[in-house]
Amino acid sequence: MPKAIISLTAVTVALLAAVAGGGDTTARCAPVPSMTAEEACSAVCGTDHMRSLCHRTLLPPRRRVAAAARRHAVTRYISAAARVALDAYAATAAAKRVTEYSAAVPADERTAHERCIDGYDLAARFMARLAVVSVSGDVARSGCDAAARRRVREDFEGCLDGMDVCRRRLFGYPASPLYGRNLADRNMTLLVALLSNLVISPAPAT
Ligand SMILES: *[C@@H]1O[C@H](CO)[C@@H](O)[C@H](O)[C@H]1NC(C)=O
């Protein structure tokens, strides 16, 4: 019996050491940053076009004044932008269905549209995950959520891949109504990816 107690103590000591070691790791893990929408847009957007897309997305006119001053965890901006992207994908898929009824669209272009929308289906699956993104940044409570951060990266890369699948298919059809839509949807997807980067490699806390 005393032997059992000793080995239990040894296990407990080992566990405590592991927890303490883990504590060192989590201490180096930056929390999910909080900022205003304006700050988030400035932090991630390199062009005026992207910045204005970002403002339109995160600060819809109806709520602009009230919303602009508030700071939120950036995960909130990722999910808000992801929902807008999903709406844009749905609108493009609807535009594609309209082309199915047009006799003027040649067969090869129809095939290109089908393949393009395969890319959208792929992108939408990943984007739906970003719309409910959850990354714990509370170091004290649950530590560095490395797995969640990795998933965020996989998700936005999947979205960008899906947009590129479509773009490659439409390359020979610049007059297609889907062509311009895809360029705009890709920019929207890029915005989600840029915002997502804020949780993957957060700036050091200030
Ligand atoms: C996408 O963004 C780039 C710059 O970030 C801009 O030049 C381009 O016009 C945008 N395309 C569309 C279709 O919005």
Task: Say which residues have a Cβ less than 8 Å from residue 183's Cβ, sequence separation at least 6.
Answer: 167
State residue 204's pLDDT score.
45
pTM of the model: 0.82
The answer as to whether 120 is a domain residue is: yes
Domain count, the chain: 1
> Half-sphere exposure of 8 toward its Cβ, with a 13 Å CA cutoff?
5
Q: What is the CATH number of the domain that holds 88?
A: 1.20.140.40
Please tell me the least confidently modeled range out of 9-23, 75-89, 142-156. Answer: 9-23
Cα 183 to averaged position of ligand 1 atoms, centre (Å): 7
Which atom of ligand 1 lies closest to the CA of 187? 1
Tokens of 140: 């004290």
Cα 187 to averaged position of ligand 1 atoms, centre (Å): 6
Please give the average per-residue pLDDT across 41-61, as a whole number: 94
SS3 for 1-44 is CHHHHHHHHHHHHHHHHHHHHHHHHHHCCCCCCEEEHHHHHHHH
State residue 202's pLDDT score.
54
**8 Å CB contact between 95 and 181:** yes
For residue 60, the one-letter residue type is: P
The answer as to whether 96 is a domain residue is: yes
Q: Angle 23-29-33 (CA atoms, 0-180°, nearest 5)? A: 135
Asked if pLDDT for residue 8 goes beyond 70, the answer is no
Residue with tokens 């806390």: 205
pLDDT digits (tens, 9 = 90+) for 21-49: 444 444 456 778 899 999 999 999 999 99
- Residue whose Cα lies nearest atom 3 of ligand 1: it is 49
The answer as to whether 2 is a domain residue is: no
Residue 60: CB atoms within 10 A of its CB come to 12
The answer as to whether 54 is a domain residue is: no
Closest CA to 169 of 110, 100, 105: 110
The answer as to whether 51 is a domain residue is: no
Residue with tokens 């891949």: 161
Tokens of 154: 């996989």
Closest CA to 151 of 128, 179, 117: 128
The answer as to whether 185 is a domain residue is: yes
Cα 28 to averaged position of ligand 1 atoms, centre (Å): 37
CA distance 202 to 205: 8
- Residue whose Cα lies nearest atom 4 of ligand 1: it is 49
End-to-end CA distance of the chain: 54
Cα 190 to averaged position of ligand 1 atoms, centre (Å): 10
Strand, coil or helix: 35: strand
Asked if pLDDT for residue 9 goes beyond 70, the answer is no
The answer as to whether 62 is a domain residue is: no
Task: Give me the domain span that covers residue 170.
Answer: 74-200
DSSP state of 144: -
State residue 68's pLDDT score.
74
Asked if pLDDT for residue 190 goes beyond 50, the answer is yes
The answer as to whether 65 is a domain residue is: no
Please give the average per-residue pLDDT across 64-71, as a whole number: 75
For residue 128, the one-letter residue type is: A
CA–chain centroid gap for 160, Å, is 10
Q: What percent of the chain has pLDDT over 90?
A: 63
